[in-house]
Amino acid sequence: MTSFRRALLGAALAAGFAAPAAAQTQITLQHPLPLNSHYGAGSQGFKEAFERATNNRFRVNIQRNDNEREAIESVQIGTIECSLTSTGPVGNFVPEVRNLDVPFLFRDYAHARGVLDSEIGQQLLTRFQPRGLVGVAWMENGFRHLTNSRREVNAPGDVRGLKVRTMENQVHMRAFTGLGALPTPMAFSELVPALQQGTVDGQENPIPVIVANNLNQVQRFLTLTAHVYSPAILICNPGFVNRLNAADRAAFMEAARVGARANRDRVSADEASGVDELRRRGMTVTASVDNAAFQQALAPAAGTIEQGLDSALLRRIRDWRPAQ
């Protein structure tokens, strides 16, 4: 081999070794619960589907951040790309979402999922863009139930006087005020210390959240009030979404749908087994609850709770039925 050919081959080899692999983009997705939870299932489902569809050109870094408001703010300013969050604090950013927080608005899981997957839910997603956010896909937190460390709650009157941690959400706070409780809004990250120290007596969350966070260790009584349905939502930064090309955006949206299915499947599984698990862990569970009595107890406060909300939208939600 001539020296010229050797030099040419060497240059070619050097160029080959220096050629970069396909550019890889890492995105961060934060959610407030442990990996082994319904949020973890949804996030992992999204991660695996998006990475697979893009041949790992995009890698999803899942992080826990149990301050949901902080995570949403980070998405808004672009510090992180995405957050999977309950809608509790979202109304502070997108006021229209507060309509979903009205107590006893949804009849059951089929009703809630059907509404969010319908034109109603899709129209609500369009309200995020003017607020500097992208509402990507509805996921699920679940129907919320009441726990406390002081006494069994069998009727609305038993709630009176309880200091109950709520999310930073005016609709939820007004509802508990209407029941005679003392609502105390705080970030989820502050909840367990507050329960341990007696700052609050109780809290309200879906079964999957109570199980995943071992709240039975700091709460003795569980009442299956199902007083409000708590959606979850995948929110992303507009700049990130807008930079995706058409193919990557399609893969991204399909991955979000995969994540939503994984999330809801895990909620269904936790609902099926979670109450028995909490009994096994030592909680006293009041399963037979007169929901009509709770709704009646809230009736005097209903006007205040729905003040400033969209009455036409609430009517559409209440009247929704699956297509025959």
Q: Which residues of 126-152 are buried (b: 16+ CB within 10 A; e: fewer)?
A: eebeebebbbbbbbbbbbbbbbbbeee
Q: DSSP code of 213?
A: T
Q: What are phi and psi of 165, to 5 degrees?
A: -70, 130
The CB density around residue 35, as the number of other CB atoms within 10 Å, is 13
In a domain, 85, yes or no: yes
Reported pTM: 0.89
Residue 7 lies in a domain: no
Query: What residues contact residue 292 under an 8 Å CB cut-off, 6+ apart?
Result: none
Residue 202: inside a domain, yes or no? yes
Average pLDDT on 296-301 reads 90
Residue 3 lies in a domain: no
Q: Model confidence over 188-240: pLDDT tens digits?
A: 889 999 999 999 999 999 999 999 999 999 999 999 999 999 999 999 999 99
| pLDDT tens track for 141-173 | 999 999 999 999 999 999 999 999 998 888 999
Residues in the chain: 324
Q: Which two tokens stand for residue 302?
A: 């209903």
Tell me which residue range forms the domain holding 250.
23-319
Residue 16 resides in a domain: no
Q: Do residues 243 and 23 touch, judged by C-beta distance below 8 A?
A: no
The CATH number of the domain where 100 resides is what? 3.40.190.170
What distance in Å separates the CA atoms of residue 125 and residue 123, rounded to the nearest whole number?
5
The dihedral built from the CA positions of residue 131, 134, 138 and 141, taken in this order, carries a sign that is: negative
pLDDT of residue 5: 42
pLDDT at 132 over 90: yes
Residue 74's φ and ψ, nearest 5 degrees, are: -65, -40
Q: How many other CB atoms are there within 10 angstroms of residue 298's CB atom?
A: 20
pLDDT category, 4, cuts 50, 70, 90? Answer: very low
As for how many domains the chain has, the answer is 1
Q: Is residue 324 one of the residues assigned to a domain?
A: no
| Region at 282 (left for phi over 0; alpha for psi -120 to 50; beta for the rest) | left
Cα–Cα distances in angstroms (integers) from residue 27 to residues 47, 101, 114, 119, in the given order: 10, 30, 30, 29
User: Does residue 14 belong to any structural domain of this protein?
Assistant: no
The whole-angstrom separation of Cα 222 and Cα 146 is: 6
Q: Is residue 2 part of a domain?
A: no
pLDDT tens digits, one per residue of 73-126:
999 999 999 999 999 999 999 999 999 999 999 999 999 999 999 999 999 999
User: Mean pLDDT across the stretch 25-38?
Assistant: 96
Task: For residue range 57-77, list pLDDT tens digits in order.
Answer: 999 999 999 999 999 999 999
